[in-house]
Structure 1
Amino acid sequence: MFSEIINVKVVEGEDWDFRGVDTRYMTHGLHPYPARMIPQVAGRLLRRYASRGDVVLDPFCGSGGVLVEARLAGMHSVGVDINPLACLLAEVKSNPLSPDVIWSYWSKLKVAMGNDVRAFKFREIKSVELPDFSGTNIEYWFKPATMMELAIIRKHLEDVEDERVRKFFDVCFSLTVREVSGTRKGEFKLYRMPKEEWEKYFPDVFGVFVKHVEDAARKMGEFYNACDKSVFSRVFMADTRDMLTERFPRDANELLLSMPPKIIVTSPPYGDSRTTVAYGQFSRLSSLWLNFEKGFDKKTIMKVDEMSLGGRLGEISKLDLPTLNMTLEAISKSDGRRAMECASFFLDLYKCLENMYRCLKEDGYCCIVVANRTMKRVQVPTHIIIAEMGVQVGFKNDVTIIPRTIPSKRLPWENAPENIPGLKGKTMSKENIIIMKK
């Protein structure tokens, strides 16, 4: 049993809530994504624990908010995610593209697309070839006319030869797909809108796409003018559990070994993608329409949540961590399978932490933002479990925890774990930032 006393410093009295601030400035506002870390948190961590010219790693980069902030702070960045849509968003958001180039392409594309859409509406074009959607239920989410208009836009995007420009338009197309689908608005999971609303729903697909392109071009222009163009932002579609092994992309391994990150800033998935934050469900419709891009194969798209941390229940080897074991015991009293799912997630996260420690520069910092979930009415103190894991994999036994909100729930046991003295219920907040040093 891992029994080392964990030295935790809880920082209170400093405002990390950033209430009321704009979190969608510049390219942060290009496309929604579930459970985004707000950019102000990432920006402050980067400027506090790293310097211009350093390398930043986000091993669960999602839509790339940390990478955008790294670029704005004059730092190189590397992002990793298993979700093809996340990788597309992160790549486009963090790499500046000249607004002059965008508007030059768009002025021609807008006319060509508009002509074809009008020809379809006036029945001058009788049919449009749709992508191969076999094995999916995509027709449930779109009306036939909507699918035809999307297919026209998609065909024009495929013909854009400049990859960076095409991917910029892909992001706008993804947003359009979400908006014109029959999903309930404001939801990240897939729920169809009520029947009476669906029957009256006839979106202006091309009009929506035009709006998103022109909004995105303005946001990219702001980013282009503000960011440091002398640094790189690289995004890899890969699994952090495989980092620095032969299963990880060779060029990613070479980059991390030749330019080790000085800082890791990340927010890992919630550990219950199928029921809590369904990244795969959120991405599915857009991703199926983007299957002309590399990495957007149907098999991957349909299994994103299953491939996430804890998504597969294999053989669970026990991690000797007091807080985790107490949590699993409390959950298993209500539901043994849910306890196994929780264990599976933390086992996967442990593998990732080992790899993150290995690739980090000596004296580098690892900053992890987590929310504490509830399973079977048991609060899972993820921040404490990560602190225990971090010390076990080799980080210095001097962990800083910054609570971001006021707590609403207590731990499943009466007092703080015995191996972390002084950690009381008041620090068990809804979200915490864990900071560890190599």
Structure 2
Amino acid sequence: MTQKESELRQYDWTFQGANSREGVHSIHPYPAKFIPQIPHQLIEIYADSKSDVVFDPFCGSGTALVEAMKKGHSSIGVDVHPLACLISRVKTRPLPDDFGNRAREIITSVRNRYPGDVEPPDLPNIDHWFKKPIQQALTLIIDELEQVENQPTKEALQVALSSIIVRVSNQDSNTRYAAVEKDVTAEDVLQKFSQASSKIESAFKKNSEWRRNSATCDVLNENILEVEPSDIPQKVDLVITSPPYPNAYEYWLYHKYRMYWLGLADPTEVKENEIGARPHYQGSNPRDETDFEERMVSLFDLLRDITTEDATASFVVGRSVIQGEEVDNGKLLERAADAAGFYTADSASRSIPSNTKSFNPGYSKIKDEKILTFKKL
């Protein structure tokens, strides 16, 4: 792949005022993801042909995968979070023709059945986080979803339901894990599910011409540190990712009840494999920044084996606060890359827009992040 010197610095990576929630990027909340304009621009810079394959080892809700497919590139994503993989799968394939009708049938059926005779699942602290009528409405929707035979349709409906779970729960928000009083009813659950389903339909209809290209997408629900080169279905030309920063945002916690309700996984087990989760950096035997660096060395070892000789690996990474000290994760990444046989080919700084909310109060003074591109030595 060809690259101009310091090409990254020719662009304003802030994208102030850009719409980051257009089309399928809007169908499910997923805080701490990077905006689609970043992978879009990186693909513009580094892709030489439509045959170039894009890989995101921390794919989250599929932002880079979608942007790759929009440009005609096949893509591969890996994430330890089953919810992230569910959202990514739904975003990167066509919406089944029966989706809208099935959503409306489920809503009608639940209205007729409510309150029903199906017992809510035995979830931890369910009464603390969900009012009884909300539990019953969600239980009936889940029961209806279990009757959907077409897996892509079922998964798209699961994404619609997942997108509203925090709003109908007592959880304050997607970025604040605290119980608050909300004026929500069982009918609100059905209305919000209906709105979420309609939103998905609209999102897939808007700017959908890219879905007619030949690009494919593979999503693997795996711990990237345990992935073998043979697990990756084809050689990779572009790596575009934003790794989870140490001690920053806890994906497992804020999506906890989404995973519980959908039966995707035990969130506490997900936490154990989540790079960067705060509990790993607290308590009597906390990890430090060297742990993140070691994990990134393992990642670069994998990238060395699965990428083509001229491949580029672009990372968006910010700083962390660990035990009161600010840590430059960009420098840790550069050391990890060097240890695995990569060099820093280009870099740029990106200002974090002032309206971007920090999920951790200790990070509120951090105003920028780095974009780093690595190549094999």
User: Aligned residue for 2:349?
Assistant: 403
Alpha-carbon distance in structure 1 between the residues aligned to 2:108 and 2:353: 52
User: Aligned residue for 1:214?
Assistant: 198
Secondary structure, counterpart of 1:277 in structure 2: coil
**Structure 2: gaps spanning 5 or more residues:** 355-365
Give the alignment of 1:56-135 within 5 angstroms: 56-97=54-95, 101=97, 104-120=98-114, 125=116, 127-133=117-123
Report whether the alignment pairs 1:24 with 2:21: yes
Report whether the alignment pairs 1:244 with 2:190: no
Matched letter for residue 297 of structure 1: A
Secondary structure, counterpart of 1:184 in structure 2: strand
Matched letter for residue 271 of structure 2: D
Pick aligned residue for 2:265 from 276, 297, 305? 297
User: Aligned residue for 1:352?
Assistant: 299
* Structure whose CA Rg is larger: 1
Change (3 A) 1:143 1:72: same
| C-alpha distance after superposition, 1:188-218 (max 9, x if no partner) | 242111xxx34x4436110110000001111
| C-alpha distance after superposition, 1:31-83 (max 9, x if no partner) | 11121111000011012111312111100101110000011010000000000
Matched letter for residue 72 of structure 1: K
User: Aligned residue for 1:55?
Assistant: 53
Pick aligned residue for 1:225 from 209, 219, 223? 209
TM-score (norm 1): 0.76
Give the alignment of 1:155-174 within 5 angstroms: 155-174=143-162
Matched letter for residue 303 of structure 2: M
User: Aligned residue for 1:414?
Assistant: none
Alpha-carbon distance in structure 2 between the residues aligned to 1:62 and 1:223: 22
Equivalent pair of 1:79/1:235 in contact (CA under 8 Å): yes
Alpha-carbon distance in structure 1 between the residues aligned to 2:130 and 2:152: 28
Secondary structure, counterpart of 2:218 in structure 1: strand
Cα offset, 1:113, TM superposition: 3.0
Alpha-carbon distance in structure 1 between the residues aligned to 2:81 and 2:28: 15
User: Aligned residue for 1:4?
Assistant: none
Equivalent pair of 1:241/1:352 in contact (CA under 8 Å): yes
Cα offset, 1:310, TM superposition: 5.4
Cα offset, 1:313, TM superposition: 9.9
Residue-pair matches, total: 358
| C-alpha distance after superposition, 1:201-252 (max 9, x if no partner) | 436110110000001111012253333441111100111112226xxxx6x3
Give the alignment of 1:275-424 within 5 angstroms: 276-291=248-263, 296-298=264-266, 301-309=267-275, 338=286, 340-395=287-342, 397-405=343-351
User: Aligned residue for 1:420?
Assistant: none
**Structure 1: gaps spanning 5 or more residues:** 1-7, 315-330, 409-427
Cα offset, 1:429, TM superposition: 6.2
Equivalent pair of 2:14/2:353 in contact (CA under 8 Å): no
Identity percentage of aligned residues: 28
TM-score (norm 2): 0.87
Equivalent pair of 1:73/1:228 in contact (CA under 8 Å): no
